[in-house]
Amino acid sequence: MTNTRKVAFITGANRGLGYETARELGEAGIEVVLGTRDSESGEKAAASLRERGLKAQSIAFDTLHERDHTRVFDLISAQYGHLDILVNNAAVSLEGTASDLGPHNTTLTVSLEDLRKTYDVNFFSVIALTRTLLPLLRQAPAARIVNLSSILGSLTLQTDPNQPLVSEYKSLGYGSSKTALNAFTIYLAHALRDTPIKVNSAHPGWAKTGLGGSAATLEPDEGGKTSTALALLNHDGPSGGFFHLGEPVPW
């Protein structure tokens, strides 16, 4: 018998935007699998969702370890046989947080080691995981892939003097890794254009998370709304775009 339960896998889902996205998807009737580096915090997050009456489980997942990608594939394949939603949420910022207001440019100071680690987490591991899970996404009637990007990855806004909060904040590793992630979104959407799978980048807004910092203007639950909306797009929704709360963000 075909398993018709809808399932989502969200990386970095034990807290912040990942957790809020999992919660909102769970409230929409989606069964959620939380990928978290720390098993204990992951299980606590899943348990808190189950206490709300949602269907949730966690799996120990380090996005840098491709063996963990395979473990996720095996779990979802065995329990569901398909994957409806992939939210590539996990990311790092090793050059401070967006709460470090004022002129900020790490181009001449960030180490090559930190640059490589940032790209490994924010870009290369996203490609690797997506490729690993793509066979399961193809088995779903109309899968959705959401890549968590950032307005800091917008080259248009980075060069717009009328957007000082963006144009004056330049973390070379984090910002450019999100620019590269946006390129992956465009290319992957094109590669899958003849399928029902939709791929989009999400700018969640400046939310109070570990990455966003305490000065952020949005609560985490508000920051999860864009990812959730893109994960639940109808058949006539966009693919290959960059959005915040339904509005396009310039590349």
Q: What is the C-alpha radius of gyration for the chain, rounded to an integer number of angstroms? A: 17
User: pTM for the whole thing?
Assistant: 0.93
Residue 80: active-site member: no
When pLDDT is averaged across residues 38-61 and rounded to a whole number, the result is 96
Whole-number pLDDT of residue 102: 54
Q: What angle do CA 248, 240, 224 make, to 5 degrees?
A: 60
Q: 18-27 pLDDT, tens per residue? A: 999 999 999 9
How sure is the predictor about 169, in pLDDT bands with cuts at 50, 70 and 90?
Answer: confident
Nearest to 181 by CA among 148, 229, 145, 132: 148
In a domain, 1, yes or no: no
In a domain, 242, yes or no: yes
How sure is the predictor about 138, in pLDDT bands with cuts at 50, 70 and 90?
Answer: very high
Q: How many domains does the chain have?
A: 1
Whole-number pLDDT of residue 149: 97
Q: Count of alpha carbons within 13 Å of 232, Cβ hemisphere only?
A: 17
- Determine the structural domain holding residue 235 and report its residue range: 7-248
Q: For residue 206, with 0-12 CB atoms within 10 Å meaning exposed, 13-18 middle and 19 or more buried, which class applies?
A: buried
Whole-number pLDDT of residue 1: 39
Q: Count of alpha carbons within 13 Å of 98, Cβ hemisphere only?
A: 23
Beta-bridged to residue 33, according to DSSP, are 9, 57
In a domain, 87, yes or no: yes
Q: 54-66 pLDDT, tens per residue? A: 999 999 999 999 9
DSSP class per residue in 7-68: EEEEET-SSHHHHHHHHHHHHTT-EEEEEESSHHHHHHHHHHHHHTT--EEEEE--TT-HHH
In a domain, 2, yes or no: no
Whole-number pLDDT of residue 214: 55
In a domain, 46, yes or no: yes
Site of tokens 């899968």: 143
Whole-number pLDDT of residue 164: 82
When pLDDT is averaged across residues 46-53 and rounded to a whole number, the result is 97
**pLDDT at residue 207 above 80?**
no
**pLDDT at residue 217 above 70?**
no
In a domain, 83, yes or no: yes
Amino acid at 208: K
Q: Domain containing 19 — which CATH number? A: 3.40.50.720
When pLDDT is averaged across residues 231-238 and rounded to a whole number, the result is 97
In a domain, 231, yes or no: yes
- Of the residues 119, 169, 174, 187, only one is catalytic, namely 174
**pLDDT at residue 129 above 90?**
yes
